[in-house]
């Protein structure tokens, strides 16, 4: 299947790029509505399932443009590059380029299991991608990425209490457009993106797009003189839009992905006890692994959707049918170090046992080398795989035309079947578990213009959700079922102070469905279950265009409370991953984002968000790092576990700041020189539920730069770029066995790029 998919994508790509070179040119409608000279563009979003001006939507939303995304991904990046690029948005992963974890306003899920649920829903072209691996589909040929903050339970359903990240691809249209871009940089990082589209016949248009990203091995495994760090990620999409009349349209979407690469590189003993600074054991281009099988990772995905739209006399009936299938595996040396048999030389400070597991240290040793923690009880070399995943979704929605009174109502059905295997390499545990999830919902929303200045809207959704876990392991079968039904609702209002300034307020509820965690079955522990979490959110804000629409400034304040909040207690000496519920969780803060056209040549954007989160449960306790090798600042209960009441949510930065500047200098020939830079600063956050010196990060930042030349007709450009240009070494996650393990961000990548367009 993998070879077939790769050939299909490659064939489509070659045809697409060939078409880009020979097809005739014509004009193309821009993705956003262009304004007069010096004015910033109007941004349209589908936050309420219909296209609307961002400034008139009563939701805190950010649209990340295609141009911005292109800059972020120029060094071969993936969805993790979106971290910090919208207020309150964080993205991280301990699974390489697969299974990202999204957080909005501090609310997310650190669970690394392949069957984990998340409170941030990822939607691609109006189709929810529920499984964590589906959420990693590469970003290419997109119109924009929309980040909707706060519960979206009415129109988008369960598992959206934190918000939505919606990837919107460029749609086919009748006007010809072809583009191709290629870049090459550090570590053999190469990117090739291309798309071609236009009319195929009367009433039929199509668009094909391709993305290919690769990197050479660049990290030395000094234990066995091998190399790690490479990847190849190939993805493609073909869309066909059929419009035989004004009353009917059909958008067909087929897409696929084939990925092979290196999973996350865990780095043992790079944090000294009592400090969260990377010590001298850390070398970005070196690891010491005696396991992990080369930390190999591979995934294949294939799917499609059909969006049918009918005009039925002032009403629009929309049907969205979608199917996804995926399989793959990921293996890693999780302990991040070397485990030698009894009788091998034992470094100072360690004791003998059946197995002495110790960790990388420089040769010759330095001071930090003798302070690393003691041995593990076992080496951790683990492989997790999705043996088979199928997801089917069906939505039918009926909506009125826009007007003083407008409404929409619909039904939604979701069905997922997932088989996951966990193998502890070198010791007996093996678990193959089947997760099924069936959910259905009915929903409706209505809006009414009370006056020329005031509009109100309200929505409600009923959802029924059921999950089952089945499997056979030693010593016997496993069978767990959970279900729940919930009603979500929202109420909002927009007040127009002027043509260019709106105030809004929103109250919304949402929930995350009950969850079953079965991964610990492979490590002799029973499955764990978390009951539904529910959220009540309050938000008020303003949206304004300023200085004759040469500037935009939007802001919001928010407060939310979560009941029965789901958390994952992970790590420790036993490598646990168990679901728990906290009595309550609380978050509040504010967000500001703006854009300013300083001159016709210089544009600045900036965003800042402050976010306070707090766990509220006086008795909830979790295990801490193995053998007490980290410095826990929480009080402990009689069992020695950390009481986490009052702690912030994990992976919830206290603040996020994002800044961009873009300058264009026209030449007398009509060509343009341009330069752009972007910087993201992320405040401190805890990696785990408990508070420990070693696992609370310091303030972090990353910057990017792009500069180049664009031809007078805009058909081609050449540029140089840099991502993480200061080569920051930021800790983004950890493993807390008893060896103070961490993993870090992507290295600095500098390179050159070329792009061409015909239209």
Q: Which pLDDT tens digit goes with each residue over 705-750?
A: 999 999 999 999 999 999 999 999 999 999 888 778 899 999 999 9
Task: Count structural domains, the chain.
Answer: 1
Which residue(s) pair with 490 in the sheet? 459, 508
Contacts of 473 (CB under 8 A, 6+ apart): 430, 431, 432, 521, 522
What is the CB neighbour count within 10 angstroms for residue 321? 16
Please tell me which residue, 3 or 69, carries the higher pLDDT value.
69
331, 292 contact by CB (below 8 A): yes
d(CA 432, CA 753): 45
pLDDT in tens, 377-388: 567 888 999 999
pLDDT for res 272: 87
pLDDT in tens, 401-436: 888 999 999 999 999 999 999 887 665 557 889 999
370-395 mean pLDDT: 77
35-42 mean pLDDT: 74
Of 87, 163, 211, 121, nearest to 659 by C-alpha is 87
pLDDT for res 716: 96
d(CA 659, CA 632): 35
* Look-up of token digits 């995926």: 326
Per-residue pLDDT at 541 exceeds 80: yes
- Domain hosting 290: range is 2-758
d(CA 577, CA 611): 26
pLDDT band at 570 (very low <50, low <70, confident <90, very high): confident
pLDDT for res 16: 40
pLDDT in tens, 468-520: 999 876 666 889 999 999 999 999 999 999 999 999 999 999 999 999 988 77
Q: Is 67 helix (H, G, I), strand (E, B) or coil?
A: helix
Share of the chain above pLDDT 70, in %: 88
157-182 mean pLDDT: 96
pLDDT for res 48: 92
266, 219 contact by CB (below 8 A): no
365-394 mean pLDDT: 70
pLDDT in tens, 192-231: 999 999 999 999 999 999 999 999 999 999 888 999 999 9
Per-residue pLDDT at 369 exceeds 80: no
Q: Which of 26-40, 105-119, 178-192, 635-649 has the lowest mean pLDDT?
A: 26-40
Domain of 68, CATH number, reads: 2.40.170.20
Of 704, 757, 695, 696, nearest to 727 by C-alpha is 704
pLDDT for res 403: 86
pLDDT for res 342: 43
369-374 mean pLDDT: 40
d(CA 405, CA 71): 41
pLDDT for res 372: 40
Q: How many residues does the chain have?
A: 759
* Look-up of token digits 């265009």: 545
pLDDT band at 33 (very low <50, low <70, confident <90, very high): very low
pLDDT for res 39: 85
pLDDT for res 739: 78
């Amino acid at each position: 299947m993998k070879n077939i998919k790769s050939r299909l994508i490659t064939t489509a790509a070659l045809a697409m790029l060939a078409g880009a070179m020979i097809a005739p040119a014509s004009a193309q409608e821009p993705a956003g509505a262009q304004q007069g000279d010096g004015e910033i563009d109007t941004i349209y979003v589908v936050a309420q399932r219909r296209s609307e001006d961002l400034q008139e939507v009563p939701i805190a939303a950010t649209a990340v443009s295609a141009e911005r995304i292109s800059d972020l991904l120029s060094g071969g990046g993936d969805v993790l590059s979106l971290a910090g690029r919208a207020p309150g948005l964080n993205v991280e992963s301990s699974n390489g380029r697969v299974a990202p974890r999204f957080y909005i306003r501090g609310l997310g899920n650190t669970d690394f299991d392949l069957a984990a649920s998340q409170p941030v829903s990822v939607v691609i072209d109006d189709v929810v991608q529920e499984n964590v691996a589906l959420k990693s589909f590469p970003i290419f040929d997109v119109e924009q990425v929309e980040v909707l903050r706060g519960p979206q339970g009415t129109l988008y359903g369960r598992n959206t209490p934190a918000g939505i990240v919606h990837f919107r691809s460029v749609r086919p249209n009748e006007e010809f457009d072809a583009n191709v871009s290629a870049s090459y940089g550090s570590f053999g990082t190469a990117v090739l993106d291309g798309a071609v589209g236009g009319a195929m016949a009367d009433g039929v248009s199509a668009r094909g797009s391709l993305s290919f990203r690769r990197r050479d091995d660049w990290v030395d495994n000094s234990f066995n003189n091998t190399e790690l760090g490479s990847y190849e990620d190939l993805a493609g999409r073909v869309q066909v839009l059929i419009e035989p009349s004004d009353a009917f349209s059909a958008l067909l979407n087929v897409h696929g992905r084939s990925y092979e690469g290196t999973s996350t590189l865990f780095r043992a003993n790079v944090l000294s006890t009592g400090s969260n600074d990377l010590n001298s054991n850390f070398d970005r281009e070196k690891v010491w692994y005696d396991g992990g099988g080369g930390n190999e990772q591979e995934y294949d995905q294939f799917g499609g959707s059909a969006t049918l739209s009918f005009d039925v006399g002032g009403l629009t009936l929309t049907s969205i049918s979608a199917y996804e299938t995926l399989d793959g595996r990921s293996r890693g040396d999780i302990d991040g170090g070397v485990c030698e048999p009894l009788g091998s030389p034992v470094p100072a400070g360690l004791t003998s046992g059946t197995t002495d597991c110790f960790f990388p240290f420089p040769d010759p040793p330095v001071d930090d080398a003798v302070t690393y923690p003691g041995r593990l009880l076992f080496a951790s070399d683990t492989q997790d795989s999705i043996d088979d995943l199928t997801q089917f979704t069906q939505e039918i929605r009926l909506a009125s035309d826009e007007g003083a009174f407008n409404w929409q109502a619909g039904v939604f059905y979701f069905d997922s079947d997932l088989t996951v295997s966990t193998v502890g390499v070198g010791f007996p545990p093996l678990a193959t578990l089947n997760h099924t999830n069936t959910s259905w919902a009915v929903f409706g929303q209505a809006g009414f213009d009370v006056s020329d200045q005031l509009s109100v809207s309200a929505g409600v959704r009923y959802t029924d959700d059921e999950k089952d876990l089945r499997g056979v392991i030693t010593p016997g079968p496993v069978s767990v079922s959970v279900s729940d039904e919930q009603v979500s609702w929202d109420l909002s209002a927009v007040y127009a102070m002027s043509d260019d300034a709106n105030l809004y307020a929103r109250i919304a509820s949402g929930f995350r469905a009950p969850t079953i965690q079965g991964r610990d079955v492979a490590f002799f522990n029973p499955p764990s279950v978390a009951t539904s979490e529910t959220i009540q959110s309050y938000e008020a804000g303003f949206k304004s265009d300023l200085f004759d629409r040469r500037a935009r400034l939007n802001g919001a304040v928010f407060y939310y409370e979560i009941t029965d909040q789901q958390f994952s207690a992970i790590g420790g000496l036993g490598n646990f991953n168990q679901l728990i519920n906290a009595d309550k969780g609380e978050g509040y803060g504010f967000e500001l984002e703006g854009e300013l056209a300083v001159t016709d040549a210089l544009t600045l954007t900036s965003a800042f968000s402050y976010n306070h989160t707090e766990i509220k449960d006086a008795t909830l306790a979790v295990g801490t790092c193995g053998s007490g090798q980290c410095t826990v600042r929480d009080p402990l209960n009689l069992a020695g576990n950390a009481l986490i009441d009052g702690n912030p949510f994990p992976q919830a930065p206290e603040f996020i700041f994002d800044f961009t500047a873009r300058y264009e200098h026209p030449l007398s020939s009509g060509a343009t020189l341009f330069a752009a830079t972007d910087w993201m600063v992320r405040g401190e956050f805890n990696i785990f539920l408990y508070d420990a010196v070693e696992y609370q990060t310091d303030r972090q930042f990353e910057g990017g730069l792009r500069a180049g030349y664009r031809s007078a007709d805009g058909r081609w450009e050449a540029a140089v770029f840099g991502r993480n240009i200061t080569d920051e070494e930021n800790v983004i996650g950890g493993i807390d066995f008893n060896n103070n393990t961490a993993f870090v961000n992507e290295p600095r990548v500098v390179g050159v790029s070329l792009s061409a367009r015909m239209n």
